[in-house]
Structure 1
Amino acid sequence: MRITYLFDPLCGWCYGAAPALEQLSQIDGATVKLAPTGLFAGENARSMDASFASYAWQNDQRIARLTEQTFSEAYRSHVLGAKDAIFDSAPATLGVVAVALTAPGREIEALKVLQRARYVDGHNNSELQVVSEILSRADFAEAARRVVSPDAELLASYRSRVDSARLEMAHFGAEGVPALIVEDENGSRLLPSNILFGDITTLSLQLQAT
């Protein structure tokens, strides 16, 4: 079974689905591919004004109630409340891609580190330098170095990964993230995203039964 996980590192719902992603990665006979969609990256970035910050915090509280994931006051103050901040997932996405190139097999770990740094520790990972510092502290030294000064290989891999994820979203009609595409002996199919927010102890059984 091959599972493609469509996500954006600045998507609160994707952070809410982190425990389910961990569960997916432990299913025997399954491989999980991270597919960063760039949903909030580059041309889709925006300024973090008071109105958007308020909307984000309200949505985050809904996610917290459903998933029991932590959205801290440090995040509210230092990320949502940061003056002249930009909501841009390109730096964090670049960090995940850099880990894929330098420490294969640790992408999910890196995504978890970047999400925790934002939503729990209150670090604004919409900035390359911040992403680099987060990765460095988490023992991703080579990825941290490359993120600060992206080379041609890293930028090409970033563009390829995002383009591929967007094509898969369009092909399967995924309307947002997180989303799961499963490929097995029965073919490929898009699963309902609510499977990521139920009882994670039965997630693998639900997945194999669809």
Structure 2
Amino acid sequence: MSIKLHLIFDPLCGWCYAMQPFLRASQTYFEGRLKLEFHPGLLFPEPMPISSEYREHMLNSDARIAALTGVPYGEAYVNKLMRDHELSYHSVPPAIAVLSCDRQSVNLALLMLERIQYGHYVEGQDVCDLQVLAAFAEELDFSKTAFLDSYAELVQCIAEKNSTCQELQHSVGCSGSPSLILEINAKRRYLNPSLAYQAPRQMILLIARQLLHHQS
């Protein structure tokens, strides 16, 4: 039986960050029986200056996410969001960093996504900077040279990967990041990510029931 959980993600998306506890718990629960596939859902496909209005929106959204899921937001991140008037976001570098790690293993990709999110939301680092991302890769025992080589290859096909991501979402009638799509024997089902935020265990059990249904 072929089983995949497609994740449409953006490392700069607060609700993708909110999904972190579910993603880690699901990989532990299924112990390799559920293949996690990463797809870039680029919120900021080009470098975008962050306006004061959008900063206010993000701070309000972050407060909701923290209350709902308990994921941490650091003082460095909040200060940067409030005081760096030249702040700009670009989803492509951190998304490709995750995909580069995915070439090595799903676990390494998940670790990189977690490291980028921690670097961004807690440490206030510029995770759109390739050298910062390469340093994260080295922390995870992925050599800088190998990481940069993989990154250079993948950056050439990011438009194709984003198009594939959109086609995948269209096939189940969803959009935006994050999105979860469960695929069992080539049949796809959209999973409402709100359950993953609010009750990760229930989402895991929902997936487990789907697997048992197809096994019976």
Q: Same fold (TM over 0.5)?
A: yes
- Classify the secondary structure of the residue corresponding to 2:156: helix
Once the two structures are TM-superposed, the CA of residue 185 in structure 1 deviates from its matched residue by: 4.6
Deviations 1:86-134 (A, max 9, x none): 1211111121122233x33311111111111101111121222322233
Corresponding residue for residue 214 of structure 2: none
In the alignment, is the contact (CA less than 8 A) between 2:195 and 2:202 conserved in 1?
Answer: no
Cα 1:48/1:143, change in 2 over 3 Å: farther
8 Å contact 1:97–1:157 — kept in the other structure? no
Per the alignment, residue 184 of structure 1 pairs with: 184
Q: Does 1:170 align with 2:170?
A: yes
Cα deviation digits, residues 22-58 of structure 1 (max 9, x gap) = 122231421111111122222xx42122221121111
Backbone CA RMSD of aligned residues = 2.3
For residues 5 and 40 of structure 1, the distance between their equivalents in structure 2, rounded to whole angstroms, comes to: 17
Aligned to 1:158: 158
Q: Structure 2 CA distance, aligned partners of 1:143 and 1:35? A: 24
Q: 1:36 aligns with which of 35, 40, 47?
A: 40
Q: Among 5, 8, 19, which residue is 1:6 paired with? A: 8
Change (3 A) 1:10 1:144: farther
Give runs of ≥4 in structure 1 deviating > 6 Å. none
Residues 5/118 of structure 1: CA separation in 2 closer, same or farther (3 Å cut)? same
Contact 2:11/2:17, CA 8 A, preserved across alignment: yes
Partner of 1:58: 60
Name the structure 1 match of 2:72: 70
- 1:136: which partner in 2? 138
For 1:89, the equivalent position in structure 2 comes to 91
Q: Tell me what 2:110 maps to.
A: 108
Deviation at 1:205, TM superposition (A): 1.1
Q: 1:110 to 1:143 in 2, by over 3 A?
A: farther
Q: State how far apart, in whole Å, the 2-side matches of 1:75 and 1:89 are.
A: 17
Q: List runs of 5+ in structure 1 lacking aligned partners.
A: none
Change (3 A) 1:80 1:14: farther
After alignment, is 64-73 or 168-177 more displaced? 168-177
Q: Shift of residue 173 of structure 1?
A: 1.8
Question: Aligned pair in 2 of structure 1 residues 154, 59: CA closer, same or farther (>3 Å)?
Answer: same
Distance 1:35 1:57 in 2: 26
Question: In structure 1, what residue type is equivalent to 2:196?
Answer: L
What letter is aligned with 1:114? I
Q: Percent identity?
A: 24
Shift of 1:195: 2.1
Q: Which runs of 5+ in 2 are unaligned?
A: 211-216
Q: Give the structure-2-normalised TM-score.
A: 0.84
Query: Contact between 1:181 and 1:191, CA under 8 Å: does it hold in 2?
Result: yes
**Compared CA separation, residues 118 and 144, structure 1 to 2 (3 A):** farther
Task: Report how far residue 83 of structure 1 moved.
Answer: 3.1
